[in-house]
């Protein structure tokens, strides 16, 4: 009896001087690995436009059916994202989410990533349906998030030079043709001018050009 | 099949197949279930051979052949999987993708795009093209509803060919040549056709997209339910596409007998009334002059109490019911059953055209032939009918008949979209369709144009009744060209097969009281009856106009057109319904609206919208008005009780279209919270009245209809199948599982007419004795 007690006390004494593995949360917070999958963040381009084009691919990839999107068309007066389409509604139900990260893999523009935000608790379930305003990074911030740590450097030469100039479609370097201009420089020369619509062209062929 | 078609034997990928002579390799492969990718070819249009996607290898042919332009030959050996074919298809796709932008993530077609699908299945993994793709201004509108994204176009020309050869409305043209080729709007003909939406559906890429579907969803988010369009009386087979709680569009479900694979823009997109945020979500009872929300229990109890009170105080004849041409057959049947068996009154009617009272066992007023039969007609006459605006897909079938050589005569008061395509156009003063029909009868009976023994007999019967109605008189009254009428009468009389169609609305004109009978006689006398491609009948207004009549929403007939006074029908129906039925005919629609009743039950109709001031006053003077509807209509605003109902996309049931085809409607979405289907409401009211109805589903109601209504004998949800059956029905062969099936008749014959349509296909012995269609 006494022998066992001493044995147990010995274990305690042995560990006494060592550094503890626990941290005293919330005063102290643990350094998380870069690929930790916490809450989603929606990213912006340098020019402030949202990366998300409202394509529904994340919602389609989601095994838990946690993402709900409603898309709408950009106008010149109200431009939210590059290209024609943006997400007017973007809801993530974190109660359904299983933090698998498929959404960020499905995203063609690198708009959504899972970040190391893990303080997700509430006494009201509806608080855990995060809306676009809560998920979106603030204006002025243009991060790329954990996708940088997830995506391997592309191989130098690839058999397919399409669709991105990098040789693969990671969404980071979206081609202008794919999802709009983003913060990429516009593609240089346009192969076919759009200044002449078909009918105008035909009309001009029938008439002598001005100045000729 | 009267004639055995000549078959050709060939082998595709080692599988033998026999197809009719003249078939394309593509169709033969289709029969075997082998996919040959196509872009420019469309099974409903002539081959073009522009896209080079359907390459197959045919033995002994030096080069790859296009499956969509090569007809089959005896002993042909075709391969769709050889290395050469794979290389050919991959090459075509690589070319197509040179200029196709990869904006799939934001393209409306992404997910149901042939270019995406075939690239995945047959395409190269990459491209050797490393220059810049061409770019155009993003979508330009080609019509009010449709946008064109020229970058995405692969120049298959399906859309252009549709507008030019199928719709014959023009609108779209190909502009320029070679790599500059693009789709453009015809400067001479704006693209404003009611069939325009079909080009969006058939575009194999996202070049043509619908404005109202733009960016609203992705195809994989849609729940797709096969159903029937609830718009006009054609009953096109559709796929209802729903996302969460909104109907976004209807796509065609290709039923060659009805829609031939096309849809009109109304059917395709006019669905906002289902998604209307103003729809009712709770029953309302008028208290202190205001409609106030109440629970379903309270509302149903209140309705039953008040109906019972009116019946006890003023008798059953003080209660009336106005049904709808939009609700399902099951609901129409239950509605009249509630009024007749539950409340004991024959005051049941709905808004409909004027059709003379049906003799016992005679032909119910319906199109005696079918939509598909139009293709076989040598002549088509439209009397006061404008199918382009009212039954668009019938109009499209008439265009197909025109291409097959039919002589079409448009006899309408106003300009018609068919005018420029047809053999003859006759104009007259509006309101005189009936005058014209009688003038035609006059010419035919007095000029001896009758054909056949039965025709001559019928002509002799009718000669006296139309003796005064000479074409000269019609010219005077209706401002019509008498000689044109004479020519038309001769054309009808000499036709190999003529179809004469009039609009239901024309029977409501002052001259239209006997229009239905006159037009039928016109067809009978000239021998244009009883065969495909010949016949007569009304083009009805709404999706279930005919079903409402079939189901007895009429004051003088029980379901299946049996007179209310018929003792045998009373015995049969009363036995099934466990009730004694009233024998005297009830009040008509207008009589009920003119103060004939004290309590009015309105299901899915809005009589107040078209009512006269006197009728409105009578509506306001009612003791009790119940309205079942989706929104607070003009009638519902005057109601004592309003019960919220649901649309046809939210319930099961069946519709009967204008050519007598009974088809299944399937629930495509959750019903709006708080609202109930009309049949559920009727069952609720009946139970509150203590009637002990136990229906749990429309399938049960339809089975009861199949048992109790001779015209619908044998009908069950299962026997209607995917494409519906056209009445009169006959018992069909049993399925391998031993289930009973029914078959329909494409056209009504003299024989059926003489014996009475209902008699022709009698299920048991409970039917009334046959009598001729009496004059």
Interchain pair A179, B214: CB under 8 A:
no
Q: Mind listing the domains of chain A with CATH numbers?
A: 28-179 (3.30.70.3270)
The beta-carbon contacts of A154-159 under 8 Å, at least 24 apart in sequence, are A159/B125, A159/B126
Please compute the mean of the pLDDT values over residues B715-732 and round it to a whole number. Answer: 86
Contact B127 A162 (CB under 8 A): yes
Which residues on A lie below 8 Å from B119 (Cβ)? none
- Of the candidate ranges B67-81, B285-299, B431-445, B452-466, the one whose mean pLDDT is the lowest: B452-466
- Give the list of residues 6+ apart from residue B240 with CB closer than 8 angstroms, or none: B224, B225, B226, B227, B247, B250, B649, B668, B669
Which chain A residues are within 8 Å of B219, Cβ to Cβ? Answer: none
Query: Do B773 and B759 touch, CB atoms closer than 8 A?
Result: no
Contact state of A177 with B180 under an 8 Å Cβ cutoff: no
Predicted pLDDT at B135: 79
pLDDT in the model for residue B360 = 58
Q: Which residues of A touch B217 (CB under 8 A)?
A: 56, 71
Residues of A with CB below 8 A from B155's CB? Answer: none
> Where, residue-wise, is CATH 3.10.20.740 in chain B?
7-81
The DSSP line for B401-438 is HHHTT-EEEEE-SS--TTGGGSSEEE---TT-HHHHHH
Joined tokens for residue B138: 């993003």
pLDDT for the residue B290: 94
Residue bearing the bigger pLDDT, A192 or B7: B7
pLDDT at B705: 93
Q: Report d(CA B635, CA B608) in Å as an integer.
A: 5
Under an 8 A CB cutoff, do B215 and A54 touch?
yes
Omega before A163 within 30 of 0, i.e. cis: yes
pLDDT level of residue B757 (50, 70, 90 thresholds): low
Tens-digit pLDDT profile for residues B344-361: 999 999 999 998 876 655
List chain A pLDDT tens, one digit each, 212 residues: 789 999 999 998 988 888 888 899 999 998 899 899 999 999 998 888 899 999 999 999 999 999 999 999 988 888 898 888 999 999 999 999 999 999 988 888 889 999 999 999 999 999 999 999 999 999 999 988 888 888 765 444 333 333 444 433 333 333 443 443 343 333 333 333 444 444 454 454 454 444 43
The secondary structure of residue B676, as a DSSP letter, is B
**Could you tell me which of B749, B732, B549, B757 has the C-alpha nearest to residue B657?**
B549
pLDDT at B646 over 80: yes
3-state secondary structure of B717: helix
Interface test with B, best of A162, A190, A195 (most B CBs within 10 A): A162
The distance from CA A129 to its chain's CA centroid, rounded to whole angstroms, is: 18
A53 CB neighbours in chain B (<8 A) are 105-106
The tokens for B106 are: 């934001």
- Tell which residue, B169, B724, B227, has the closest CA to residue B398: B169
Enter the DSSP assignment of A154.
P
| CA of A133 vs chain B CAs: smallest distance (Å) | 20
Whether residue A161 and residue B130 make contact (CB cut-off 8 A), yes or no, is yes
- The nearest CA of chain A is from the CA of B40 a distance in Å of 22
Q: Angle between the B515-525 and B452-463 helix axes, to the nearest 10 degrees?
A: 140
The residue to which tokens 């008040």 are assigned: B306
Confidence of residue B102 (pLDDT cuts 50, 70, 90): confident
Residues B325, B548: contact at Cβ < 8 Å? yes
Q: What CATH class is the domain B306-350+547-745?
A: alpha beta
| Min Cα–Cα distance to chain B from A56, Å | 7
Contacts of residue B175 in chain A, CB cutoff 8 Å? Answer: 198-199, 201-202
Contact flag B105-A175 (C-beta cutoff 8 Å): no
**pLDDT of the residue at B369:** 92
Q: Which site among B103, B173, B219, B246 would you substitute to test the A interface, given the most A Cβ atoms closer than 10 Å to its Cβ?
A: B103
Q: Check A59 against B221: CB less than 8 A apart.
A: yes
CA distance B541 to B543: 7
Phi, psi of B194 (to 5 degrees): -75, -10
Over residues B583-608, the pLDDT tens digits come to 999 999 999 999 899 999 999 999 99
**Cβ–Cβ contacts within 10 Å for residue B175, how many?**
18
CATH superfamily of B372-533: Dimethylsulfoxide Reductase, domain 2 (3.40.228.10)
Q: Closest Cα to residue B155, out of B95, B213, B201, B240?
A: B95
**Which of A194, A200, A202, A206 is the best mutation test for B, with the most CBs of B within 10 A?**
A194
pLDDT > 90: what percent of chain B?
Answer: 78
Q: What residues in chain A have their Cβ under 8 A from chain B's Cβ atoms?
A: 53-57, 59-60, 70-73, 83-85, 108-109, 159-163, 175, 177-180, 187-192, 194, 197-199, 201-202
Chain A residues in contact with B134 by the CB 8 A cut-off are 190-192
Residue A194 carries which DSSP code? S
Residue B125 has its nearest CB partner, among A159, A180, A194, at A159
Q: Do A187 and B127 touch (CB under 8 A)?
A: no
DSSP B287: E
Q: Is B622:B641 a contact under the CB 8 Å cutoff?
A: no
Cβ neighbors of B572 (< 8 A, separation 6 or more) are B708, B766
CATH class of the domain comprising B7-81: alpha beta
> How confident is the model at residue B765, as a pLDDT?
33
Residue pairs spanning A and B at CB distance below 8 A: 96
Across the interface, do B127 and A190 touch by the CB < 8 Å criterion? no
Minimal-distance CA residue of chain B relative to A187: B132
Place of tokens 């007749």: B340
For A76, which DSSP code?
S
Mean pLDDT of B325-330: 96
High-pLDDT (> 70) share of chain B, %: 95
Helix pair B452-463, B433-446: axis angle to 10 deg: 120
Cβ-contact B589, B350 below 8 angstroms? yes
- CATH assignment of B104-114+128-269, among 3.50.30.10, 3.40.50.12780, 3.30.70.20, 3.90.1280.20: 3.30.70.20
CB B604, CB B610: distance < 8 Å = no
pLDDT exceeds 90 at position B729: no
CA R_g for chain A: 26
Q: Kindly tell me if the per-residue pLDDT of B635 is higher than 90.
A: yes
Given A54, A83, A177, which is nearest B133 (Cβ)?
Answer: A177
Confidence (pLDDT) at B51: 92
CATH 3.40.228.10 placement within chain B: 372-533
Structure confidence at residue A152 (pLDDT): 63
pLDDT digits (tens, 9 = 90+) for B301-323: 999 999 999 999 999 999 999 99
Give the E-state strand segments of chain A in sequence order. Answer: 40-42, 67-73, 85-93, 112-114, 129-130
User: In chain B, whose CA is at the least distance from the CA of A69?
Assistant: B217
* B178 in contact with chain A, both atoms CB, cutoff 8 A: no
Residues in A closer than 8 angstroms to B176, CB to CB, are 198, 201-202
- The distance of Cα B213 from the centroid of its chain, to the nearest Å, equals 23
User: In Å, what is the CA distance from A48 to each residue of A77, B568, B578?
Assistant: 15, 80, 74
Residue whose token pair is 């099936």: B741
Within the 90-109 window of chain B, which residues sit less than 8 Å (CB to CB) from chain A? 97, 99, 101-106
Residue B737 has pLDDT above 80, yes or no: no
Contacts of A109 in chain B (CB under 8 A): 105
Name the DSSP class of B45.
S
- Per-residue pLDDT tens over the stretch B670-706: 999 999 999 999 999 999 999 989 999 999 999 999 9
Q: What pLDDT sits at residue B362?
A: 63
The torsion region of residue B596 among left (phi > 0), alpha (psi -120 to 50) and beta comes to: alpha
B6, B11, B15, B20 alpha-carbon torsion, rounded to 10°: -20
- Which alpha helices (H) appear in B637-731, and where do they start and end? 678-688, 698-708, 717-720
Count of CB atoms within 10 A of residue B477's CB?
17
Distance between alpha carbon B375 and the CA centroid of its chain, in Å?
A: 17
Task: Name the DSSP letter for residue B542.
Answer: B
So what's the pLDDT on residue B732? 75
Q: What is the pLDDT of residue A203?
A: 52
Question: A125: distance to nearest CA of chain B, Å?
Answer: 21
Residues of chain B with CATH 3.30.70.20: 104-114+128-269
**By 3-state DSSP, what share of chain A in percent is helix, strand and coil, each rounded to 5?**
25, 15, 65
Average pLDDT, chain B: 91
Rounded Cα–Cα distance for residues B132 and A196 (Å): 19
* Residues of chain B numbered 112-171 and touching chain A (CB < 8 Å): 125-127, 129-139, 151
Residue to test with chain B: of A71, A76, A182, most B Cβ within 10 A? A71
């Amino acid at each position: 009896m006494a022998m066992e007690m001493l044995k147990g006390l010995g274990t305690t004494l042995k560990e006494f001087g060592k550094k503890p593995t626990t941290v005293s949360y919330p005063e102290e917070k643990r350094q998380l690995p870069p690929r930790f999958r916490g809450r989603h963040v929606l990213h912006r381009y340098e020019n402030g436009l949202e990366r998300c084009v409202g394509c529904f691919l994340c919602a389609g990839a989601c095994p838990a059916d946690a993402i709900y999107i409603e898309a709408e068309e950009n106008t010149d007066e109200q431009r939210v994202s590059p290209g024609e389409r943006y997400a007017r509604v973007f809801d993530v139900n974190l109660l359904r989410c299983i933090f698998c990260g498929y959404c960020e893999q499905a995203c063609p523009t690198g708009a959504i990533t899972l970040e190391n935000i893990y303080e997700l608790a509430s006494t009201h379930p509806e608080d855990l349906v995060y809306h676009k305003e809560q998920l979106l990074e603030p204006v002025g911030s243009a991060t790329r998030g954990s996708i940088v740590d997830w995506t391997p450097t592309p191989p130098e030469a690839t058999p397919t030079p399409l669709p991105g100039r990098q040789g693969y479609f990671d969404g980071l370097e979206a081609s202008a043709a794919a999802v709009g201009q983003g913060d990429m420089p516009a593609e240089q020369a346009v192969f076919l001018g759009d200044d002449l619509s078909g009918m105008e062209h035909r009309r001009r062929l029938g008439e002598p050009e001005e100045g000729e | 099949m009267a004639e055995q078609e000549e078959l050709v034997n060939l082998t595709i990928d080692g599988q033998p197949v026999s197809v009719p002579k003249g078939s394309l390799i593509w169709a033969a492969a289709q029969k075997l279930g082998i996919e040959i990718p196509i872009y420019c070819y469309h099974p409903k249009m002539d081959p073009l051979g522009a896209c080079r996607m359907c390459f197959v290898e045919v033995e002994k042919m030096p080069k790859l052949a296009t499956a969509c332009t090569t007809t089959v030959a005896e002993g042909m050996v075709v391969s769709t999987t050889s290395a050469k074919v794979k290389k050919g298809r991959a090459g075509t796709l690589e070319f197509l993708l040179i200029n196709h932008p990869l904006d799939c993530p934001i393209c409306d077609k992404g997910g149901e795009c042939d270019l995406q699908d075939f690239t995945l299945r047959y395409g190269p993994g990459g491209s050797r093209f490393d220059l810049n793709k061409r770019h155009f201004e993003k979508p330009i509108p080609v019509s009010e509803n449709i946008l064109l994204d020229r970058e995405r176009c692969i120049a298959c020309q399906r859309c252009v060919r549709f507008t030019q050869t199928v719709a014959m409305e023009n609108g779209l043209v190909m502009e320029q040549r070679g790599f500059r080729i693009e789709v453009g709007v015809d400067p001479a003909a704006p693209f404003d056709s009611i069939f325009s939406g079909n080009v969006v559906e058939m575009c194999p890429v996202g070049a043509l997209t619908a404005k109202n579907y733009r960016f609203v969803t992705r195809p994989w988010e849609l729940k797709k339910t096969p159903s029937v369009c609830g718009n006009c009386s054609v009953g096109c087979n559709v796929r209802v596409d729903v996302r969460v709680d909104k109907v976004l569009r209807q796509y065609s479900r290709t039923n060659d007998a009805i829609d031939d694979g096309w849809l009109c823009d109304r059917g395709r997109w006019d669905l906002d009334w289902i998604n209307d945020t103003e729809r009712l979500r709770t029953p309302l009872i008028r208290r202190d002059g205001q409609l106030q929300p109440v629970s379903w229990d309270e509302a149903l109890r209140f309705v039953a109490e008040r109906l019972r009170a009116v019946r006890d105080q003023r008798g059953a004849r003080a209660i009336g019911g106005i049904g709808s041409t939009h609700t399902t057959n099951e609901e129409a049947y239950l509605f009249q059953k509630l009024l007749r068996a539950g409340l004991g009154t024959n005051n049941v009617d709905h808004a409909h055209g004027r059709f003379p009272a049906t003799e016992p066992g005679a032909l119910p007023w319906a199109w005696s032939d079918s939509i598909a039969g139009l293709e076989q007609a040598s002549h088509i006459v439209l009397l006061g009918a404008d199918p382009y605006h009212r039954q668009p897909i019938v109009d499209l079938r008439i265009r197909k008949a025109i291409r097959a050589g039919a002589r079409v005569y448009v006899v309408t008061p106003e300009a018609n979209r068919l005018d420029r395509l047809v053999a003859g156009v006759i104009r007259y003063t509006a309101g005189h369709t009936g005058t014209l029909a009688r003038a035609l009868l006059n010419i035919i009976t007095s000029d001896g144009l009758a054909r056949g023994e039965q025709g001559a007999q019928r002509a002799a019967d009718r000669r006296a009744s139309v003796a005064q109605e000479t074409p000269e008189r019609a010219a005077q009254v209706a401002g019509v060209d008498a000689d044109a009428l004479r020519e038309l009468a001769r054309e009808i009389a000499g036709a190999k097969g003529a179809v004469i169609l009039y609009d239901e609305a024309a029977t409501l004109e002052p001259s239209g009281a006997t229009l239905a009978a006159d037009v039928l006689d016109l067809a009978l006398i000239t021998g244009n009856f009883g065969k495909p491609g010949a016949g007569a009948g009304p083009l009805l207004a709404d999706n279930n106009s005919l079903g409402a009549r079939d189901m007895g929403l009429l004051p003088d007939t029980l379901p299946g057109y049996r007179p209310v006074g018929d003792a045998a029908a009373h015995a049969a129906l009363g036995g099934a319904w466990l009730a004694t039925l009233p024998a005297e005919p009830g009040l008509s629609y207008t009589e009920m609206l003119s103060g004939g009743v004290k309590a009015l039950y309105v299901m899915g109709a809005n009589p107040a919208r078209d009512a006269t001031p006197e009728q409105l006053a009578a509506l306001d003077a009612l003791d009790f008005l119940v309205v079942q509807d989706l929104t607070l209509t003009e009638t519902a605003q005057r109601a004592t009780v309003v019960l919220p109902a649901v649309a046809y996309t939210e319930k099961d049931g069946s519709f009967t279209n204008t050519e007598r085809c009974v088809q299944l409607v399937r629930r495509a979405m959750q019903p709006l919270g708080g609202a109930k289907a009309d049949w559920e409401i009727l069952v609720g009211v009946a139970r509150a009245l203590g009637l002990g109805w136990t229906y749990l589903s429309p399938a049960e109601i339809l089975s009861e209809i199949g048992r109790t209504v001779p015209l619908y004998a044998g009908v069950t949800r299962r026997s209607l199948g995917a494409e519906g059956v056209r009445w009169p029905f006959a018992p069909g062969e049993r399925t391998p599982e031993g289930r009973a099936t029914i078959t329909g008749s494409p056209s009504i014959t003299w024989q059926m007419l003489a014996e009475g349509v209902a008699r022709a296909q009698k299920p048991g012995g409970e039917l009334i004795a046959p009598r001729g269609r009496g004059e």
